[in-house]
Chains A and B, each alone.
Chain A
Amino acid sequence: MGTQEKTERSSDKLNNQRILLLLTVLFTITTLVVGALVFRFYLEDYRKSSDATEYDKYYVMITDNYKTDFWQAVYKGAFEAAKKQNIYVDLLGQNISGQYSCEQLMKIAIASRVDGIIVFANENEEMTSLINEANEKKIPVVTLYNDSTHSERLSFVGVGSYNIGREYGRQIFNIIKDKRTDDFGNSQAAIRHTTTDVAVLVNTDTKDSGQNIIISALQETLEQENATDSEFSISLVPVDNKNAFSVEESIRDIFMDNNIPDVIVCLNELNTVCAYQAVVDFNKVGEVNILGYYNSDEIVTAISKNIVYATISIDTEQMGRYCIEALSDYYHFGNTSQYFTADVTLINNDNVDDFIKKEEESYE
């Protein structure tokens, strides 16, 4: 009996051992296989990171300073639009060390035989000839924001400078109206008519047609709004933007002068920021009204703080998209519209909160 039990027990034990052995062997093999697979996937994962989509066409965007929010926003619009058509847009200059002018970048772009150039152009002869050279080499060129009217550019994508001028004019008129009521309230001052000094900051290096249009539209608006000549005076303050950092110095110079203007109209983002900072630094908040340009976060914040009176918001996304549309039209139909105008909106203290809210929503 005892021995029989023993045999039974030992055979049970043997079976258990067999199962255990099977499990162990399975476990070992599984470990091996899993280890190998994990390693493989790991490596593959690592390699996959170097994979990338290939694009059909390659456009470049050339700007004077790729770092500004404005150009970055336009580039972003263009990039998104291009990506849908399997086209890659590069903001040229971003990847190359050193500072290059638009003309130099144009040369690089032409030599690189890109499929399309979007350039922040000017009326220089050099630019014109470069655009023509590109055209000769079958590279379509779209001028952006600033036109090169004498060149054989395909299309111009800009903002309605006239509209901007009108908006500025209206804002200045509002300021004048505020002044009038102040004058009425102040009996002593009623005798002496105060003149509102409007300083328009203009760049020195470009024969910028846009600037001129803005200024003339501004004047026109003020006249239409029945502002008398004695109530305002417009002066053009040249801002040296040829050298690095000179813009900031030029703007500070205005404040060093005794005649500080009542209204400063800035026609680009950098000028706006510099003017805004100068007003704060010279403690002229409330005395000097800044009409800004572009809706960078900094400027919008300044409006909500009442440091900047108003600013122009440009639909940069639309602007970028128009550039790509123009180039694609060229490839599809051989030609396209000569002018594209991006929408502008004015942001002042009344609608700045809405704007901020909308921006936040669009970010989300």
Chain B
Amino acid sequence: MSRFLNLPLQKKIVSIYMLANILIFIVNIFLIFGINSMSVEMEMVYQDNRQLNELSESLNDVQDSMTGYLSSKTTDSLENYYRSAQTFQTLSEELGGKVTDLSFSRMRRNIKNMSENYLDEVSQTVEAKRGRNVEKYRAYYERATELYEYINAYIESLNNEQFISNSENYTELTGAFRTFERMSVLVLSLVMIGNIISITLIVGMMIRPLKNLADSADEVAAGNFDTTLPKTPYHDEIGIVTAAFSQMVISIKEYIERLRESMENERKMQEKELTMEAHLKDAQLKYLQAQINPHFLFNTLNAGAQLAMMEGADKTYEYVQTVADFFRYNVKNHGTEVTVKEEVTLVDNYIQILNVRFSGDIHYHKQIDERLLGIMMPNMILQPIVENAVNHGIREMGDKGVITLRVYREDNYACISISDNGKGIDQESIDQILSGNWQRKENQNDNNGIGMDNIISRLRIYTDDEKVITMKSEGEDKGCEITIRLPFENV
């Protein structure tokens, strides 16, 4: 069975087809054989009658030729007699001499023996005729004729009886033939049904792996590479395709895995590259910073301040001193964390410098809870915010601009608020700024180069809180307030 199923598909199909055909063929052969034997039997039914008729005819020939010879004594009739006697003898010998239950056989035996006797008598008659023994041949002739009549009667009876019996046989045979017909139709139908069932089953068995394969292929098509791969039950084409499909699915899975790995690698490489770049930039920046050498600037400014003091220019001294402090903050700050006080001082310095630059235009108010000045926060936060407020809020207001810095406590938060009474800002822009989507305008040369987005992201990273900074504006020309809320936990 399994050997059969392992055959190639074509051979399988052909062999199934051939098997079915051979079965039907065998049935047909049986049928033909049966019909043939029955028809032979039927042909033979009346064979006996034909034989007897022949015998009867040849008996008549013998009698006629004998009579002819007796009456005319011609050579022709003698020849006829010899010939017909020979035929008759041959035919009568065919009858057989068996004695059985069957009346036919006994009748045949009797006819045969009587025929022999008859031929004896006839030959004696002919002999006597030759010897011209009138007395004798008459007597023989009479005896022969009597026998002839008996034989004829016997043959006739036998013929008749055999005809009756043969007719019965014929009827029986016809009946048998009918039965045979019915039986063959039955056998043929059963074999047909068996064939159909077998073919259906075998084809089903052949197609099953294909169906399994189709199901699996469907699943794979739907993206499920983890489907159970169909087994390969037979090594036919379907088996080969199934095996190939399984191999393919496994290969694809492996390939995808490899692809993912390589992509991962690439990503890591890119990350590395980026860090490297950042480091490079950092280095470059440091390099540039190093070139500026703030110490030098700071020392220079200090020198300038001393000079101003010695010359008695107090205001100049104070200004230069403030500028020097402002720069010192930058120089001093090597870490990223500073106290609020330091930041506030930076703002103070900055405002002072601006007021010198713009001749005291900016009104600067401070409301500070001294207890909160020791809280730590990221450096370079407040000064850029104030710078923004000055640049975008109150720059064009002349001496009416007011900047208010407040440090106060609210719940568990230390709040630092910077507000102005400037132009204000619309809500859309606020949202854009807070979400980091603000498009910096061209040529907007920001003071120290530190943008709002930088501040916002640094604050957020520092506190891990999205709402660390809020912006508020009442509307146009109503100023703007930026509030930073630092949780105490961070302090």
Contacts and interface: CB of A to CB of B under 8 A. Distances in A.
A36 B186 CA distance: 12
A46 interface: yes
9 contacts: A17-B205, A24-B198, A28-B195, A35-B183, A36-B30, A58-B109, A111-B113, A112-B110, A112-B114
Contacts of A54: 98-100
A3 B106 contact: no
B17 interface: no
Nearest to B116: A113
B201 A52 contact: no
Contacts of B264: none
A187 B81 CA distance: 86
Contacts of B34: 39, 43
A39 B30 contact: yes
Contacts of A112: 109-110, 113-114
A4 B227 CA distance: 10
Nearest to A4: B228
Contacts of B201: 17, 20-21, 24
B118 to A, nearest CB: 7
A257 B442 CA distance: 175
A24 B23 CA distance: 13
Given A17-B201, A24-B194, A111 B37 contact: no
Interface in B143-196: 146-147, 150, 153-154, 156-158, 160-161, 172-173, 176, 179-180, 183-184, 186-187, 190-191, 194-195
B158 to A, nearest CB: 8
A107 B146 contact: yes
B101 interface: yes
Contacts of B184: 35
Q: Which of B37, B101, B118, B184 has the most CB of A within 10 A?
A: B101
A88 interface: yes
A57 interface: yes
Interface string A38-49: 110011001000
B258 interface: no
Contacts of A31: 187, 190-191, 194
Contact of A104 (B101, B102, B150, B180): B150
A25 interface: yes
B259 interface: no
Interface in B188-221: 190-191, 194-195, 197-198, 201-202, 204-205, 208, 212
Interface string A138-152: 000000000000000
B222 interface: no
B187 A88 contact: no
Contacts of A53: 100-101
Contact of B205 (A18, A39, A88): A18
Given A18-B1, A24-B197, A88 B146 contact: no
Given A21-B198, A28-B198, A97-B160, A111 B228 contact: no
Contacts of A32: 23, 26-27, 30, 187, 191
B178 to A, nearest CB: 12
A42 to B, nearest CB: 7
Nearest to B115: A111
Interface of A: 3-4, 6-7, 10, 14, 17-18, 20-21, 24-25, 27-28, 31-32, 35-36, 38-39, 42-43, 46, 50, 52-58, 88, 90, 95-98, 104, 107-108, 111-114
B190 A28 contact: yes
Nearest to A115: B99
B117 interface: yes
Contacts of B173: 46
A25 B105 CA distance: 49
Contacts of A111: 113-114, 117-118, 147, 150
Contacts of B197: 20-21, 24
Given A31-B191, A90-B106, A95-B161, 10 more contacts: A17-B201, A32-B23, A32-B191, A39-B180, A52-B100, A52-B101, A57-B99, A111-B147, A112-B113, A113-B117
Interface of B: 1, 23, 26-27, 30, 34, 37-38, 41, 98-103, 105-107, 109-110, 113-114, 116-118, 146-147, 150, 153-154, 156-158, 160-161, 172-173, 176, 179-180, 183-184, 186-187, 190-191, 194-195, 197-198, 201-202, 204-205, 208, 212, 227-228, 231, 233
A66 to B, nearest CB: 13
Nearest to B26: A32
B207 to A, nearest CB: 11
Contacts of A14: 205, 208, 233
A58 B99 contact: yes
A240 to B, nearest CB: 26
Nearest to B172: A46
Q: Which of A14, A42, A50, A108 has the most CB of B within 10 A?
A: A108
A35 B156 CA distance: 42
Contact of B150 (A21, A25, A28, A108): A108
Contacts of B41: 46
Given A28-B191, A111-B113, A112-B114, A42 B205 contact: no
A-B pairs with the 9 shortest C-beta distances? Answer: A28-B194, A35-B187, A112-B110, A3-B228, A52-B100, A113-B113, A58-B99, A21-B201, A111-B114
A336 B259 CA distance: 125
A95 B205 contact: no
B118 A55 contact: no
B212 A55 contact: no
Contact of B37 (A7, A35, A43, A52): A43
Contacts of A52: 100-102, 105
A35 B113 contact: no
Contacts of B109: 58, 112
Nearest to B227: A3
Most A CB contacts (10 A, CB to CB) among B27, B105, B106, B147 go to: B106
Contacts of A50: 102
A107 B101 contact: no
B176 to A, nearest CB: 6
Contacts of A98: 153
A224 B180 CA distance: 77
A107 B23 contact: no
Contacts of B202: 21
Contacts of B107: 95
B228 A88 contact: no
A28 B110 contact: no
A88 B100 contact: yes
Given A21-B198, A32-B27, A38-B183, A97 B176 contact: no
Given A24-B198, A46-B172, A95-B161, A88 B101 contact: yes
Contacts of B186: 35
A27 B194 contact: yes
B117 A97 contact: no
Contacts of A96: 153-154, 157
A39 B181 CA distance: 11
Given A21-B201, A28-B191, A39-B183, A97 B156 contact: yes
